[in-house]
Chains A and B, each alone.
Chain A
Amino acid sequence: MNAAPMLELRDITRRFEKKLDFAGRIAQRLGAPVREEVVHAVDRVNLTVRKGEVVGLVGESGCGKSTLGRMVAGILPPTEGTILRDGRDIKALTGAEARQMKLRTQMIFQDPYASLNPRMRVQDIVGEAPRVHGLLDGAAFDDYVDEQMRRAGLDPTFKRRYPHQFSGGQRQRIGIARALAVKPDFIVCDEAVAALDVSIQAQILNLFMRLRRELDLTYLFISHDLGVVEHLSDRVVIMYLGRVVEEADTETVFRRPNHPYTRSLLDSVPRIENRKRAFSVVKGEIPSPINPPAGCHFHPRCPLATERCRVEVPKLREVAPGQRSACHLNDQ
């Protein structure tokens, strides 16, 4: 428990400049007050993930979950901040060490079809990366691919087929086999079951849980589905417009949420146990991340907002052991 955490994000920020389109550039040249817009997709996020944990990351669309996940997976550089892997700054790594470190984190996406090359056979989709990175020698290729496929619940006799010859759930299994083939110890799942039917979703979630046990994996599990997150995660992180607003172990988040946004979110989720009842409602729309409200981003929708919330950004701080929340109400 005293070893360095598997992953540590320190004040990670990611901005995107939204370049002006053609019409915008003309307008600007003619003196119109248009400017290139900046999206704060992720705004000074701190996060620690310990070995073997499943951390659920939830929030509404555009709040920065995927951007954060891509930075963790090393496929998108942060604009600011530090990412530590096993206590080491990944920016300081070079050469073979950097490549190796990158392989240790793999990402699994929502749309398994879009992320699989349609012209490659499954055996190459799964086996290519380990071969390129010298994780196996030529003779072992077939056996290795078979093992990866079997582990993901795919019949190896189908390894010469192409992605379109598989169902959605099977394609997600191919994506999983591909990710695990390079022997990662950390997996970022980005809405990995969102596109799947309920019965298939259960199969894939079970596969994730089994693989976690068998391979000692650590997950960052991104999902907008609170039911799925509650079932799978040890700890839950809630984001709103680029910032973490609450973080606690799963039980606490669902039983004793602190942040008003967390509570609103939980109230909005339809549950199969709730019959024919009035849906509770959070007022207002999700604001644009291009021009987010000042102070607490949630203040225009928050039933408890005060004057202070409009001007001062609340700090994320401990409100109970293991529970952090970013709301001014905790100061009273």
Chain B
Amino acid sequence: MNMTAPTLEVRDLKTHFFTRAGVVKAVDGVSFSVGRGKVMGLVGESGSGKSVTGFSIIGLVDPPGRIAGGSILFQGRDLAKLSEEEMRDLRGNRIAMIFQDPMMTLNPVLRIDTQMIETVLAHKKVSKEEARQRARDTLGMVGIPSPDERLKAYPHQFSGGMRQRVAIAIALLHEPQLIIADEPTTALDVTIQGQILAEVQKLCATTGTSMIWITHDLSVVAGLADDIAVMYAGRIVEKGVVGEVLDRPLHPYTHGLIGSVPSRNKRGEALRQIPGMTPSLLNLPPGCAFRSRCPRASEACLTEPLLAEILPGREARCVHPHLEAPEAA
């Protein structure tokens, strides 16, 4: 453990949507921290609350949703308590977000240079020429060839992978201390994903930027992240250092997820599978949310388990964690 304070520390975050059908507890008591220059992989299946966690940190939760509790300490300041204006000032400047669809970031009717220069000028008092220079350098940084030419293009003139690079470049313009990346390579082809992951890896290592990488793909997290947090039904069920969690998952859900990855199974044989499906967040049954799908469930699981340190540096939310020696893959 190092003694420097983490870049981000989320404590007991609750983000709920107050819908007519009832309260959707999309994020319900989530805690984690991200150290300087570290990549934290936030994984889970669709609807588990990954994106809402990201949106909460960056202050983009729309009604009927709102942060219903907890704190988001970013360099010591609680983001959950900032005004919209203070938040806007941080956004795109010290904290940036990258989305699965790069067009969430890009404006289709503006040239790339216009968009990038405006972004620079929004937070920095520099000349237009300096802003252009910065834009060009940043495009180069994310591996866009001939950035001078590319600056004059419109988003539709780029391929999906290139658009995502531009969106990443825009996120990097102000050398943010924290980047939240929400499935930014999920829609991309594997060779293009490989290129972007390589760039991102280099960036974090050289600039000290911290990153939350949201994905449902354990294999991406395995190669990219330092730490991992696994979400299920709005809560973190397990977290720890990537290698340890993937080699020796404690929580039955993590265990099941890893076991169902095809490469972890003998070719042609039935995959190990988690039965059932994810529960609706609208009316979760009492106790452990994974109970109806869990092979280890018992009477004791009717009481909601808390996230607890089960092994040194290893937390899981389960009363019957996998403590036995890991089985051979």
Contacts and interface: CB of A to CB of B under 8 A. Distances in A.
B223 A275 contact: yes
B260 interface: yes
Interface string B234-273: 0000000011001000000000111011111101101111
Nearest to A254: B267
Contacts of B310: none
Nearest to A231: B262
A197 B46 contact: yes
Given A201-B260, A286-B192, A281 B226 contact: no
A61 B242 CA distance: 30
B45 A279 contact: no
A293 to B, nearest CB: 15
B115 interface: no
Contacts of B260: 198-199, 201-202
A277 B226 CA distance: 11
A206 B190 contact: no
A231 B263 CA distance: 7
Interface string A227-265: 110111000000000000000001000000000000011
Interface stretch (A6-14, A66-74, A266-274, A305-313): A266-274
Nearest to B271: A202
B161 A285 contact: yes
Nearest to A227: B262
B195 A231 contact: no
Interface in A201-219: 201-203, 205-206, 209-210
A286 B222 CA distance: 26
Nearest to A199: B274
B290 to A, nearest CB: 11
A167 interface: yes
Interface residues of B, number: 47
B190 A224 contact: yes
Residue from the set A228, A268, A277, A282 with the largest chain B CB neighbour count within 10 Å: A268
Contact of B246 (A200, A201, A272): A272
Nearest to B274: A199
Contacts of A280: 194, 198
Interface centre among B256, B257, B273 (most CB of A within 10 A): B273
A278 interface: yes
A129 interface: no
B83 interface: no
Contacts of A210: 270
Given A201-B260, A202-B274, A279-B198, A270 B192 contact: no
A197 B183 CA distance: 14
Contacts of A269: 190, 194, 219
A230 B190 contact: no
A274 B271 contact: no
Given A206-B273, A227-B262, A270-B223, A199 B257 contact: yes
Interface string B187-217: 0011111110110010000000000000011
A201 B216 CA distance: 12
Contacts of A275: 222-223, 242-243, 246
Given A201-B260, A275-B242, A276-B243, A268 B194 contact: yes
A199 B292 CA distance: 14
B219 A271 contact: yes
Contacts of A272: 218-219, 222, 246, 258, 261, 263-264
B217 A270 contact: yes
A277 B189 contact: no
B222 A279 contact: no
Given A200-B277, A272-B258, A279 B218 contact: no
B319 to A, nearest CB: 21
Given A200-B277, A268-B194, A60 B189 contact: yes
Nearest to A264: B191
B215 to A, nearest CB: 10
Interface in A147-185: 167, 169-170
Contacts of B271: 202, 205-206, 231
Given A197-B216, A205-B271, A281 B198 contact: yes
A271 B222 contact: yes
Given A231-B268, A274-B219, 9 more contacts: A60-B192, A169-B277, A197-B45, A205-B262, A205-B271, A231-B267, A268-B193, A272-B258, A281-B194
Interface of A: 60-61, 167, 169-170, 197-203, 205-206, 209-210, 224, 226-228, 230-232, 250, 264-265, 267-283, 285-286
10 contacts: A60-B189, A170-B277, A203-B275, A227-B219, A228-B262, A231-B263, A270-B193, A272-B222, A285-B161, A285-B192
Q: Please provide the 5 A-B residue pairs with the shortest distance between their CB atoms, ordered closest to farther.
A: A268-B194, A202-B260, A231-B262, A197-B45, A199-B274
